[in-house]
Chains A and B, each alone.
Chain A
Amino acid sequence: MVKVATSLGRSGLHDWLIQRLSAVVMLAYVLYLLGYLIGAYMVQPELSFGLWQGFFARPVVKIASFLALLAVVSHAWIGIWTVFTDYVKPVAVRVVLQSLLIVTCLSLLFWGFSILWGV
């Protein structure tokens, strides 16, 4: 068994499952957001700050948005990890890049969290 310390799920099967689960979560969120935007457009073509902020202030939307962001970051972690293992052959360079990837994903997650909870 090959040990992959920088992958998210620690095994190919875990990564595969996380990749699919996160995809379904994001798909649902994208459709939800699209539905909201189309609905809002029908009522009032020009999107206003009040409407937009009011939408993200709803607890349900906050939770959905955070789950979607968590899905994005997990999905990107696995996806970009795969890209690195495919194209970056020197191990030292790859470990550095994958470490940066992990730090970046976690930073984006906490940044997004602070944005969503600040509304």
Chain B
Amino acid sequence: MTKQRPVFLPLAPADVMGMPVMAITSILHRISGIVLFLGLPALLYMLQKSLASEASFAELKDCLAAGWAKLAFWLLLSAVAFHVIAGVRHLIMDLGHLETKEGGHKAASTVLVLFVIAAALLGVFVW
């Protein structure tokens, strides 16, 4: 017995988990902020390693060549990218723009699109 039933794919961002797109960017902004705070010691450690000596710089480079390290580094950089892009939207809204329902919808969708592009570019840079 084969069933040919239509499958509903929540492709529009507004349909994900029943959340409007503004709610998604809002919670991702918060999550990326928490991730960045937790990742801050790692970033400072990498800065220390990269600046301490030629040997530790090379050591750090070797460490970052591992697959899991690349993935972790990319996730951190992506969190930075998301937080910055979504943060700029907040700054623009502070100036009194994009505060209507349609404007807010458009701005939040733009944030998501720009983030996907940024994450892809960061992926190219890391790998």
Contact = CB atoms under 8 A, between A and B. Distances in A.
A9 interface: no
Given A20-B91, A83-B34, A49 B58 contact: yes
Contacts of B34: 80, 83
Contacts, number: 51
A86 to B, nearest CB: 9
B44 A52 contact: no
Interface string B82-115: 0010011011001000000000000000000000
A118 interface: yes
A27 interface: yes
B40 interface: yes
| Tier of interface size on chain A | 20 to 34
A44 interface: no
Contacts of A24: 91
Contacts of A76: 33, 36-37, 40
Interface of B: 30, 33-34, 36-37, 40-41, 44, 47-48, 50-54, 57-58, 80, 84, 87-88, 90-91, 94
Interface of A: 20, 23-24, 26-27, 30, 49-50, 52-53, 56, 72, 76, 79-80, 83, 108, 111-112, 115, 118-119
